Amino acid sequence: MKHLFGMAELERPQIERLLALAESFVELSRRPLRKAPTLRGKTIINLFFENSTRTRTSFEIAGKRLSADVINISAATSATKKGESLLDTGQTLAAMQPHVLVIRHGIAGCCQFLADYLPQTAIVNAGDGAHEHPTQVLTDLLTLRQHLGGVAGKTITMVGDIAHSRVARSHLIAANTMGYRLRLVAPKTLLPREVERYGCEVTHDFDAALAGSDVLYMLRVQQERLTSNFAFPSVREYHEAYGLNRRRLAMAGSDCVVLHPGPMNRGVEIATDVADGSQSRILDQVENGVAVRMAVLTTLCGGGD
Ligand code: ASP
């Protein structure tokens, strides 16, 4: 593995290997001394042009936990504010000889674009526009491995803003690779047309999609990517039609697992008592996010066997 651009380039055995390695890092992360020398002498730059709490912090902790030198740069404090292009920023940082560049950017495909110009640097996509977010999906797969014993043959019902979600797009690809079913629930305005090509079930009726769901995966409405204000009439109506509340969770059953990639908008796509309830694995996703990023960084730096 030279780069990680998306789930599209990962085969099932590679995913299984990353998850197994991540599991060992979950264990390391619970020890009193949370440190290993695996990436000593390696330099990792986290370059974030979009806001982030979980992804950015977990990449930073992941690198530090493995003894790498980690540098964080955000758009607000970088020379892009002075008009520098993404390519110039990338080439400038690559000239300082980092081993890995972790990038979050609003433009889909920007990681592949930069990789063509930076042959010495491994690039990780930490979310590129509405395109892909592979480390989030690996995090979800690890969480479901822990709580359901794996995803093969399971049904994940994903609800909300599918159209603008890079998490949804990465899951659409991973579902085929890993053999799980994705059931998509969204208002027409938040559903991309190309979704049919993935062959998944699509509905606008959340209640009808609950039975048989092993996982309810709630998505935030990506206000920052909406081109119109009219994707749905009001927050109250959205919550009525597409919000996960106790009544709906009870219809899905007591074994159903609740996931959300964060950040949550409580009272919009998810009710507070469900987000904090016993079927929610949302904070497990966060914990696993560190371990998965440790596994990705280790693998990109040539370790992991
Ligand atoms: N954190 C996820 C992402 O960056 C989901 C979200 O922002 O709603 O795509």
Extents of the domains making up the chain: 7-133+286-300, 134-281
* Distance (Å) from CA 100 to ligand 1 centroid: 22
What is the predicted pLDDT for the residue at 226? 82
Locate the ligand 1 atom nearest the alpha carbon of residue 104 and give its number: 4
* Distance (Å) from CA 11 to ligand 1 centroid: 24
* Distance (Å) from CA 6 to ligand 1 centroid: 15
Whether pLDDT at 117 is above 70: yes
Whether pLDDT at 207 is above 70: yes
* Distance (Å) from CA 261 to ligand 1 centroid: 6
Whether pLDDT at 219 is above 90: yes
What is the predicted pLDDT for the residue at 143? 98
pLDDT in tens, 96-109: 999 999 999 999 99
User: Does CATH place domain 134-281 in 3.40.50.720?
Assistant: no
Locate the ligand 1 atom nearest the alpha carbon of residue 165 and give its number: 9
Which of the residue ranges 21-25, 78-82, 139-143, 288-292 would you say has the lowest mean pLDDT?
A: 78-82
What is the predicted pLDDT for the residue at 127? 98
Same fold, 7-133+286-300 and 134-281: yes
Residues 199, 31: Cα–Cα separation, whole Å: 43
Locate the ligand 1 atom nearest the alpha carbon of residue 54 and give its number: 1
Ligand 1 pocket by Cβ (under 6 Å): 127, 133, 166-167, 220, 261-262
For the chain, the three-class secondary structure string (H helix, E strand, C coil) is: CCCECCHHHCCHHHHHHHHHHHHHHHHHCCCCCCCCCCCCCCEEEEEECCCCCHHHHHHHHHHHHCCCEEEEEEHHHCHHHHCCCHHHHHHHHHCCCCCEEEEEECCCCHHHHHHCCCCCCEEEEEEECCCECHHHHHHHHHHHHHHHCCCCCCEEEEECCCCCCHHHHHHHHHHHHHCCEEEEECCHHHCCHHHHHHCCEEECCHHHHCCCCCEEEECCCCHHHCCCCCCCCCHHHHHHHHCECHHHHHHHCCCCEEECCCCCCECCCECHHHHCCCCECHHHHHHHHHHHHHHHHHHHCCCCC
* Relative orientation angle of helices 282-300 and 12-28, to the nearest 10 degrees: 110
Whether pLDDT at 229 is above 70: no
Among 52, 102, 220, name the best residue to mutate to test ligand 1's pocket (greatest count of ligand atoms within 8 A of Cβ): 220
* Distance (Å) from CA 198 to ligand 1 centroid: 21
* Distance (Å) from CA 62 to ligand 1 centroid: 19
CATH, range 7-133+286-300: 3.40.50.1370
Is residue 170 very low, low, confident or very high in pLDDT (cuts 50, 70, 90)? Answer: very high
Top pLDDT among 77 and 286 is at 286
